[in-house]
Structure 1
Amino acid sequence: MRWIAVALLVIALLVVWRMMFMGYRGRALRQKQEFPRPVGSKDWKRLRDAVEGTYVSTTDAENALDRIAAHGLGTRSAVALGFLDEGVGLLREGARSFVIPTADIVGVGHGPGMVGKWMGKEKGLLVLRWKLGERIVDTGVKPRHPEQGARFAEQVEELVRNHKNKNTGGAQ
């Protein structure tokens, strides 16, 4: 009788796990139609001022609990975050790497966490806000060394400021 109960429990757990997997996969497929695929780089050797850390996830900026699953953006991974001529590059280990074009970067900040990772410290997570198609999204990276994350955030702010000045002829 005990074996039957154990077998039923295992089957129930497998069914629940399968339903969760199918739900996440369905979300990714729906979002693929909504979101364009982020730009990739042809030469990751040009990545400058790289900061190593953990890519946490990308979420909708308006709804921090809405993880973007399309194009592998919901996959947690090790990351080297740095600058390329096109913008900010995220060279990910074991997941799809991508570039956030300079023109699409809205801003940068710090936070205590996001879906998938919560540090509890006020500035534990580096958060890039950018445009993905028609929506604004937040990408969270936990830098291995917080001081490098703070310096990187300052560089991104300068990059955005210079880009705006270049496109507006210096007027703000």
Structure 2
Amino acid sequence: MNRWVIGAGILVLLVFVVLLMVRSWRARGRRQADIALPETAPDSLSPALVEHDGFYVATTRAGDPLDRIVVGGLGFRGRAVISVHREGVRLEIAGEPAKLIRASSIRDVGRATWTIDRVVETDGLVLVAWSLGDTDVDTYLRVTDDPRPLVDAVRTITTSAPTAGTTTGEQTID
């Protein structure tokens, strides 16, 4: 009988913790209700300049790599196909409709080593700094190949030249 009571108590505690996590996640979404939703990528984009298989890691508020954006399907890390077109960067995150980061909204691009819950080798992440509506955000991507062609392709589609050495939080955009 004791085992059943202890087991039931642990089960109740686990359910309680999961419910708190769900409540917290929804509260974060409500706090970010003022952030615009990302644009769905149209089917008719120009041919890809570069395409990589990789991972979508996170999108955070600019300068705050610990404040994850959860609206519009940007809350969860996942496998992704990342392609750069003249119109912008297309993110096809597994389980989500493809999203487009317009070239006109990209502020800068570079490399990073860490964000939220991911630390990799030095400069192992691609950091795309862009504007999501009126909110400046940073999107972190991890590609399986050499990330330099991806970074270079994003730089070619942006209207302004990137600023070398720009600091975003503790991340450096080179």
Deviation, 1:28, is 1.5
Measured at CA, do residues 139 and 44 of structure 1 come closer, stay the same or move farther in structure 2, by a change above 3 Å?
farther
- CA–CA separation in structure 1 for the residues paired with 2:21 and 2:47: 36
Asked if 1:150 is matched to 2:138, the reply is no
Give runs of aligned pairs for residues 72-111 of structure 1, distance below 5 A: 72-111=73-112
Q: What's the counterpart of residue 130 of structure 1?
A: 130
Q: Which residue of 1 aligns with 2:170?
A: none
Partner of 1:164: 160
Q: Aligned residue for 2:114?
A: 113
Residues 130 and 136 in structure 2, CA contact (< 8 A), matched pair in contact too = yes
SS in structure 1 opposite 2:40? Answer: coil
Which whole-Å deviations, capped at 9, do the CAs of 1:39-69 have from their partners, x for residues lacking one? Answer: 1122177561211101011011121110001
CA RMSD between the two structures? 1.7
Structure 1 unaligned residues grouped into runs of 5+: 166-172
Instruction: Map 1:31-50 onto structure 2 (within 5 A).
Output: 31=32, 33-43=33-43, 48=48, 49-50=50-51
TM-score normalised to the size of structure 1?
0.85
Structure 1 residues 22 and 44: alpha-carbon distance in aligned structure 2, compared to 1, 3 A threshold: farther
| Higher share of residues assigned helix | 1
- Gaps in structure 2 of 5+ consecutive residues: 162-174
Which residue of structure 2 aligns with residue 29 of structure 1? 30
Structure 1 residue aligned with 2:166: none
Is the Cα–Cα contact under 8 Å of residues 65 and 115 in structure 1 kept in the other structure? yes
Structure 1 contact 28–69 (Cα < 8 Å) conserved = yes
Q: Measure how far apart 1:82 and its partner are.
A: 1.0
Q: Deviations over 1:74-103 (max 9, x none)?
A: 111111111234211111111232101111
Q: Name the CA distance, whole Å, in 2 between partners of 1:131 and 1:16.
A: 35
Higher relative contact order (CA 8 A, sep 6+): 2
Name the CA distance, whole Å, in 1 between partners of 2:122 and 2:59.
Answer: 19
User: Share of identical aligned residues, percent?
Assistant: 28
In structure 2, what residue type is equivalent to 1:3?
Answer: W
d(CA) in 1 for partners of 2:44, 2:124:
26
